[in-house]
Amino acid sequence: MKTIVLFIFSVCVFLYSNYVTFDHYGKDGVFISKLHVHSQSKGIWNSLIKLKFDHGDYTSDIYLEGSGIDDMAIFRDKGEILSYVDGQYTVHSDLQVLQQAKLINLKEAELYTRLLFASKQNFKPTFKIIYEDRNIFILEIGKNKQVQMFIRQG
């Protein structure tokens, strides 16, 4: 009888610890990242990324406006985390253009044209988590090692 009680208690402690660990470290939820670029060569750019994680899948909406385009461009990226090797995540990404903008200055529109090019490709970007806690994570994205911070909303 003692063995059965001990077994049931152990299972309850195990399930509770898994729940607490997932609740504390789980990335499910909505995160926001804002980026402002002021550069002589790249112009002035503002971007807002709304990222939603749901059990390993993600959806992000990217709002981009800048001096190289005439209007706000909107992209949607849907994907899933494929693997984790040597501190780097590989994700499958399906980037779609929801609202295209007209090019005003090709030299200053590099960020926009990179996203347009990526939307035409089937690509698997990589990222490394530099810092994370329950409400914030900082990523190093891709080969050019762009750093971006995301903050939990709500």
In this predicted model, which residue has the larger pLDDT, 42 or 130? 130
- Using a pLDDT cut of 70, give the percent of the chain over it: 83
Q: To the nearest whole number, what is the mean pLDDT of the chain?
A: 82
Half-sphere exposure (CA, 13 Å, Cβ side) for 45? 23
Residues 87-134: tens digit of each pLDDT: 788 888 899 999 999 999 888 888 888 889 888 887 777 888 888 888
In this predicted model, which residue has the larger pLDDT, 152 or 41? 152
Asked if 47 and 68 touch (Cβ cutoff 8 Å), the reply is no
Domain ranges of the chain: 26-153
- Using a pLDDT cut of 90, give the percent of the chain over it: 29
Global pTM? 0.76
Say if residue 68's pLDDT is above 70: yes
pLDDT value for 90: 83
pLDDT value for 12: 60
In CATH, which of 2.40.50, 2.40.128, 3.40.50, 1.10.238 is domain 26-153?
Answer: 2.40.128
- 114 in helix, strand or coil? helix
Say if residue 62's pLDDT is above 50: yes
Distance of CA 138 to the CA centre of its chain: 10
Say if residue 7's pLDDT is above 50: yes
Q: Token digits for 15? A: 């399930």
